[in-house]
Structures are given as structure tokens and as C-alpha cells.
Structure 1
Amino acid sequence: MWQQHLAILPILIPLFTALIQLLPWGNRPQPKRRAIGLAASLLTLTAAIFLLFEVRQQEMLIYQLGNWEAPFGIVLMVDKLSAMMMLITAILALPVLIYGCFSEDNLGSHFQALFQFQIMGIMGAFATGDIFNLFVFFEVLLISSYALLMHGGGKFRVRATLHYVLLNLLGSALFLIGIGTLYGVTGTLNMADMAGHIQQLDGDQAVLAKAGALVLLVVFGLKAAILPLHFWLPQAYSTTTGVVAALFAIMTKVGVYSIIRVYSLMFGPEANELALVAHDWLWVMGLLTMLAGSAGIMAARDLRLLVAYLVVISIGTMIAAFSFASTATTGAALFYLVHSTFITGALFLLADLMAYERGKTASRIVSGKKMANHSTYAIMFLLAAISIIGLPPLSGFISKLMILESATANSHSFVLWGAVLSATLVMLVSISRVGSKMIWHTLSGKPSEQSAPAGKRIAVALLLLLSLLMTVFASPIRDYTTEVAEQLDDVASYPMFVLGQQAETTP
């Protein structure tokens, strides 16, 4: 019955890998650490694939640590949403780590271990069924991210990391306050159990629970970089190394995941007095986040900064779509989440490659010398631009079309249409400016002699290939994201699986 352990394997593999990589390893340790890291990433990806197929058959996997039954013990609750997010993380991590193995990890002795700790924290956040352990895994991934952001040093990197650390320390304090408030009125930390208790609250207890829910919304909004809590992201992501920024493409999705999980399971339509308590806020904040991201890419004078603002726009789009609280829009938003994670990861790596080969002009959006692999980067940039803007036929177009089609039944659909299409137009203009200045118009003279390793270009190509595959296999992926949305709507099934007798137990 090895399948019962699938829920915890994507957490244990990176954890033990990180601990092994911290060992001295004698002379020339880095090649050994790279080999171990790549092998572990492949194992994690394999486990995540098996986990998704197992969850699709069984609907949900419940793993009781120490054989302690919920709600008293710690449980991992892997439903279709969790399995999807864990698979996305594992897929993204492999090409990003391949990229990092080509000199990037030489900037710091513990890059490989920190990378695995980061993956472990992200996987744990997606798998936990306990809101306090969600906080614990948040702290694991945040501590790793602090060190990764500082990787390689530099004045601007240190300043951006300091801002990031201070804000997240505040976020962690608020997280504990929100959890404590909800625990005080429900008497439980298990999310499925808490959902049942919240449905029965009224009067002063309901007011307290609403306060706790809104405090958590601030915390998750900070993690997801939703306006007005988005201002840390552009500087943090644009000043760190490309490989770290690409990995962080999934980290903001942890905040989005937490919003979807908490406000569909605990504060969904069945929460009576507290039903959809955050959705009006999410609608407004999603639109404003798209607006802020659009303003940012118009003002950006650096490609890395522009890509960071593209992340902000994508977050706003997802949050606005989720706020409609319908199965169709949630499914479409999840399809868009998958697409945006891979394509922004590819763009961060591509910006890093171009900055290296352009020399002094680096990633600034100005004309510079022709790059050593200019034609390759031109093709890559064209594919990435078509996908992120949302032009046919790539996955960006499909995902945006799904969002717009699914929103038509809502009275606010015209506002979402206007916001998404306006952001798309701004992206088209801004990214066209980048292509014109950095690729089309180059300075005369001898091309740059700095050529990045072929392995880095392969890593970027793998991420771009995912956009093409999402286009080819759009129908089955859409079917799965719709299944995820339908399961999220079936709130009553969660207590049955988590608190009932259907839970798998550890031996």
C-alpha cells in the first residue's frame, strides 16, 4: 500500500535531500550536490504525477501523521487542487534547477539545500489540512526565500530583501492573530472541521470569526502580492537572480492557493452568516491589482522589473475571476494560474540570459549590442510574448478566453472584460517596446562574445514548451481544472473525507 504515502512524499523528498546536501562532501562538493538535487527533483516530479492520478481516482487523500485521527492530529489533505499545485511546483522546479546548476549555485555554498527547503515549504503549504500547519509551512518557505533572495549579495538585493523580510514578519504576526481568533470561536485548527463550526456561528462569535477571516485576507493578500500589499514584489523579484525569481513564480501562487482554499472551504456559500465574506474585497482588489500591474509595466525601464509587474497583473486577473464564486470562473482562473506560472518563470530566466549576453546594458530596455545567441533569444522572446499577452494560439489566449467566457453570466462581467482586455492592450504595447529596443534595434558593431551555457537555454526552452503543450492539451487540462472547481464547490465532502472513516492512516 505504498500509495497511501504519496501525500507526504513530495514533502519528505526535498526535506531529506536538503539535509543531505548540507553535508561537507569533501573536495569539489558542488557537482555532487547538483546531481543529488536533480535526482531529487525528478523523484519529486514522479511522486507528484502519481499523486495526481491517485487523487483523481479517489477524489481526496488523507494522511494522518502518527495515526492520530483528525481533528486532534495533524493531517495532510490532498484534494484535486492540492495535487495540481504540487505537480505545477515539481514541474517548474526541474528546469529552474537545471538553469541554476550552470554557475548560478556557485554564488553561495548552500543554494542547492535552500532550493530544496523552499520546495518542501511550498509542497507542505499545498498539502496541509490544518491552518496552523499552513502557517508553519509558510514560515519554512519564507525563511528559505530570505536566504535565496540574498543569494549573491549586492546593495540593491540586500535592501529589497530587508523590505521583504520586515513585511513578512508583520504578515506572520497577523497570521497568528487571525488563526488565534478563529481557534477561539471554533475550538479547532483543522480546516474541514473549522468549516463545520463556522456554519453554526452567530452573533458576537460570527463577528469575531469575520474579523479573523479579514485578518487572514490581509496576510494572504501580502503573500500573493495583491494591491495595496503588492509593492514588495517588483523590487524583490527584479533584483534577485533569475533562477530565484523564476522559482518565486510559484511562491505568490501559495498566497492565491490559500485564498482559494480558506474562502471556498471555510467561508464559502455554505457558511451562513459568514458566506463569501471576502469575495467583494477580492473583486475590488483584483481589479486594482491589474491596474497597478499595468501602470508598472508601462513605467518599467528594465526587463526584469517589467516581468515582475507581469506577475502582479496575473495575480489580479486570477483573484478577480475567483471572486465571481462560480465553478466556471474558478476553473478558468486555475487554468490561467498554471499558464502564468510557467510563462513568467520562463520570462525571468530569459531576462537573465539576455542581461548576461548584452553586457553593460544588461536588462535595461535600451538598444545594445547584438547578443551571441541573438536569433535564439528572439524566437524565445516572441513565443513568451505571444503567450503572456494572450494572443492566439498559445495557452495565454486560451486561458483569458476561458475567463471571459465563464464570466458572462455575472452582472459584473463587462467590468472584468474591460479590465482584462485593457491590461492585455497595455501588455502588448509594453512588450512590443521591449522587443523593438532589445532585439530588433541593436547597435552596430561586433556581437557580444559572452555566450551563456547551452544548458540554460535548454531550461528556458523547456518552460516555453510547456505553454505549447498546454495549447495542444488544453481540453484535458480544462476538464481537470473544472473538476477541481467542482470539488471546491462540494464543501460538504471535505468533513466526510477528513473526519470520517475514509482516511488512510500511517502504519
Structure 2
Amino acid sequence: MSLFEHLVIFPILIPFFVAVVLLFPHLSNCLSKQRVISITAHVALVVVAFVLLFKVEGQGIQVYALGDWSAPFGIVLVADMFSVLMVCLSAVLGLAITLYATAGEDKTGAFFHPLIMFQLMGINGAFLTGDAFNLFVFFEVLLIASYALMIHGGGKQRTQANIHYVFLNLIGSSLFLFALGTLYGTLGTLNFADMADRIPLLSSNELLIAKAGALLLLAVFGLKAGMLPLHFWLPKAYSTTSTPVAALFAIMTKVGIYSIWRVHGVMFGDQAGGLANIALPWLWPIALLTIVVGAIAILASQNLRVLCSNLVIVSVGTLLVAISVNTVQATSAGIYYLIHSTIACAAMFLLTGLIQQQRGQAEDRFVAARAMPQAGILGFIFVLLAIALIGMPPLSGFVGKALILQSVTEASQAIWVFPIVLGGGLIALIALSRAGTSLFWRTSGENKGALKGHPSQYLAIGLLVAILPLLVIFGGTVNDYTQLAAEQLKSGLSLQQLNEVAK
């Protein structure tokens, strides 16, 4: 077997082994060497992710059976177009935040680079795993890394937010195990493909137990995604942690969204017999209310970090709308919007870090302060990102929202979705306009003592900002990928097909 045939597991192995190497004493005490190794590993991860993307495009779904044990007895990794797109997204985001951190953020606390690697290992594993138990395992890996990353740099506010974050996620992890135990006791398997095969065959008594497990999983994934009413931890957690960590956390909610799509869109989807689309009656109102509550919170935000955090909540609600429509077209549109919103929110978090360091004590609060030494370029980037996050042309936010709205074809759905989604964009326009006015125009003299941005910080932000117009310029190609991802997700694989592909 050639090295190329092991490609599916590389997005997990690369960050794992690099994280272990970075913990060696002679490296953990040398930040410059850590930076070189970390950036090199991130570049390699980006290359592997895109090679895997082209392989899935050309050869179809890739299944990797660890130890050559066939499912459902062995552990399998499944690389379809959806999971590989998410791995590409996490790889690019990891490279950007590491570049940003090398300007000095990585030396404000211990083990920054190994923790980022462990975090990416968990994220990529969650995207690639083919069974529910290993989804739990990779969730725990990324969460444990996030617990340490959240308090990177220290401080009372970060510690307080981290306590809430850890406590809630420990509850979520416990519920996750209860749900898995319930489903395993009913189905006798936790392999995604095997579960999808067995769910339609359940008896009426077993359906009730499986329904409880399915809804419990929805609550767990909703907590991870920041779905109403389980979103209250998110603004405080995201707004108090360090800048590169907040940017990386932009993809954390998407792991929850991905899991809802993977579990409730496939296993409990159209072919699930008595449990078909069990989540939809809950997701419809929750999706719309998440947008409404997030939009209200945007207007109430007193600084840019909190505003960005609430924009993440609005994006989660918009993605839940795409899941609720439950068609291939809506899924394709949702995946496109997921990529856009993750990149745009992460870039805005990074930009906020630069604004904070250039405004001195005023930081990113919407109050009058001395002028920023690099206000021109920061203002230009802010306008670009604001346009993208609002959903205005010509950037990818407009395309993403337009595709989602276009997928809503039923009048009973459109009458709710159109005004709420567009209204959320209008409120974002008002809030970001107010933010830009306060940050860049309400000035009183020069801020000569402020730190200017480091080239690596601008490189990181530029990398993410450049992706937004590219998503439009190459929109046809990206749409082909998202369409294929949606079709593969909806059709799924039976256990027999899974093992045939693995051979």
C-alpha cells in the first residue's frame, strides 16, 4: 500500500505527532523553533487537505479502515466531499491564526503551538470519523485543548469565562455519553453507516428509546454549535479569550453544525422510517429564533469582540435554516455559507486584535479614543469584512445568503425565512456601521504610543480576506464541490458499500 493511500488519516496524524514533538523539552523552551515547526506543519496540513480534496473529487468517497478491520467492528475514517471541505477549512484557518500568533501572542502563555495542534487534531478527527463513539472521542480532544487555549495569557475575565465554558461542556459530554449508550443499547452499533441501515428496522418500542437518544444528541450538538437557547456561553467565551484563539473558535461552532448535518441529516433523515427527520420540528423555530436573538444581541454589543461573537450566533441560525429546509440545494447553499462565515468571522476577530492594540486603553470599545496609527488600512479591511458579514455584494456573504434564500421554495417557509434572514443582515449593517464610526471616526488626537501591526498579523488577515472574493470569482467551482458534498451527504453509504469502498 503506497503512502498516498494513507492520505485520509494524515490530517489527524500530522497535528498529533507535531504536537508531541513540540512538547519535547529542548523545543518547548525555544519559541523560535516552535514557530518554524508549527508553520511548516500547518503548510503541510493545507497541502494534504487539498490533495485529499482533489482525490475525493476524482475517485469518490475514500474510506480508511484502521488495522484493516472492517466496519462496524473496526474504526473507520470516511473522507467524503463535505468532510474534506471542512478539513481544508480548518487547515487554512489554523495556518492563519498561527501566523498571527507569531507576532507575539504565542509567548503570553505556555504550550500555545502544541495546544493548537491538538485542537486541530480533534477538529479534523470529528470531521473524518465514521462512527459516533469516535466523534465523542475527537470532541473531547478538541475540547480539552480548547480549555487550555481559552485561558491562554491569563486574566480574571478569561478564567471566569473558562470555568463556565468547562462546566457546560462537561455537562454536554456527559449527555453525549448517555445518548450514545441509549442508541447503542437500541441499535447494537455506533458506526454511522450501520446505524443508518438499522434505524428503519426498529420496532415501535425501540423507536421510543432511539428517539430519546436522537433528541439528546441534538441538544448536545446544539450546545456545541451555540444554538438557542444553549448559546449563552458563547459571547463571553469568545470575547474574553486571546485574539488567535477566538479566531480559531470560529470553526468550533461549525463542528456542532457539521454533526447535526451528519447525524440528523443522514441517520435520522428521510430514510429513517419512524424517526425520519425527527429534528426538523425543533430546528425550524430554533433556527429563526437564533437569528432574532443574535441580531438583538448585535445591537446591544458595546465592543467589537462581543459584536463579532454575536455575529457567529447569527451565522449559526442561518446555517440551521439551511439544515431545516432539508433539500440537496439547501445543503449545498449551507455548506457554501458555512465556509464563508467561518473565514469572515475569523478574519474579523483577528482584525479586532489589531484594533485593540492600536487604540490603547480604549481597546475595541465603542468610545472616543486617540487615532490609530494604521487607521487607513485597518478601516479598509474593516469595510471589506463588514460587507462580507452583512451579506452585501460583491463578496461571498451575498452569494451564500442568496443561495440559501433561493433554496427556500415553499411559501410557508419563505414567509418566515426571508424577513428574518434579511432583517438580520440589516441589523448587522446598522451595528457594524455604528462600530466603524466609533472606532475610526470618533478620535481625539494622535495615538503616538500605540503599537503598529506586525507583518505576520497582516499576512494572516490578508490570507483570510483574500479567500472571500475568491469564493465569488471561483464560485462555480466551489458550488460544484458543495453540490457534490450535499449529494454525497444525502445519499450516504450503507455498511456494505462502506466496506466495499474500504477494500
Q: What's the TM-score once normalised by structure 2's chain length?
A: 0.98
Distance in 2 between residues matched to 1:124 and 1:148, nearest whole Å: 19
Q: Where does residue 495 of structure 2 map in the other structure?
A: 495
Q: Where does residue 325 of structure 1 map in the other structure?
A: 326
The structural deviation recorded for 1:369 is 1.1
Matched, 1:357 2:358: yes
Q: Which amino acid aligns with 2:497?
A: F
CA displacement 1:104-156 (0-9 Å, x = unmatched):
11011200100000000000000000100000000000000000001011111
CA displacement 1:280-335 (0-9 Å, x = unmatched):
21111111111111011100001100000000000000011211111111111110
Q: Where does residue 397 of structure 1 map in the other structure?
A: 398
Distance in 1 between residues matched to 2:423 and 2:194, nearest whole Å: 42
Structure 2 gap segments, 5+ residues each: none
Q: Where does residue 74 of structure 2 map in the other structure?
A: 73
Q: Where does residue 485 of structure 2 map in the other structure?
A: 484
Distance in 1 between residues matched to 2:228 and 2:202, nearest whole Å: 30
The structural deviation recorded for 1:494 is 4.0
CA displacement 1:343-366 (0-9 Å, x = unmatched):
000000001110011001001011
Q: Where does residue 244 of structure 1 map in the other structure?
A: 245
Q: Where does residue 45 of structure 2 map in the other structure?
A: 44
Matched, 1:33 2:34: yes
What SS class does the counterpart of residue 78 from structure 2 fall into?
strand
The structural deviation recorded for 1:502 is 2.5
Bigger mean CA deviation after superposition, 50-59 or 181-190: 50-59
Structure 1 gap segments, 5+ residues each: none
Q: How does 1:282-301 map to 2 (within 5 A)?
A: 282-301=283-302
Q: Where does residue 125 of structure 1 map in the other structure?
A: 126
Distance in 1 between residues matched to 2:4 and 2:495, nearest whole Å: 22
Contact residue 342 and residue 463 of structure 1 kept, 8 A: yes
Bigger mean CA deviation after superposition, 126-135 or 401-410: 401-410
Q: Where does residue 387 of structure 1 map in the other structure?
A: 388
Alignment length, in residue pairs? 502
What SS class does the counterpart of residue 250 from structure 2 fall into?
coil
Structure 1 vs Structure 2: percent identity of aligned residues? 46
What SS class does the counterpart of residue 436 from structure 2 fall into?
helix
What SS class does the counterpart of residue 369 from structure 1 fall into?
strand
Distance in 2 between residues matched to 1:25 and 1:497, nearest whole Å: 48
Contact residue 172 and residue 223 of structure 2 kept, 8 A: yes
Q: How does 1:107-506 map to 2 (within 5 A)?
A: 107-409=108-410, 411-445=412-446, 447-491=448-492, 493-498=493-498, 500-504=499-503
Contact residue 284 and residue 320 of structure 1 kept, 8 A: no
Distance in 2 between residues matched to 1:271 and 1:56, nearest whole Å: 28
Distance in 1 between residues matched to 2:284 and 2:28, nearest whole Å: 55
What SS class does the counterpart of residue 366 from structure 1 fall into?
coil
Contact residue 202 and residue 273 of structure 1 kept, 8 A: no
Distance in 1 between residues matched to 2:450 and 2:363, nearest whole Å: 14
The structural deviation recorded for 1:202 is 2.6
Contact residue 372 and residue 447 of structure 2 kept, 8 A: no
CA displacement 1:14-69 (0-9 Å, x = unmatched):
00000000011269600001100000001111110011111112221111111111
Matched, 1:14 2:7: no
Q: What's the TM-score once normalised by structure 1's chain length?
A: 0.97
CA displacement 1:243-278 (0-9 Å, x = unmatched):
000001111110000000001221010001000000
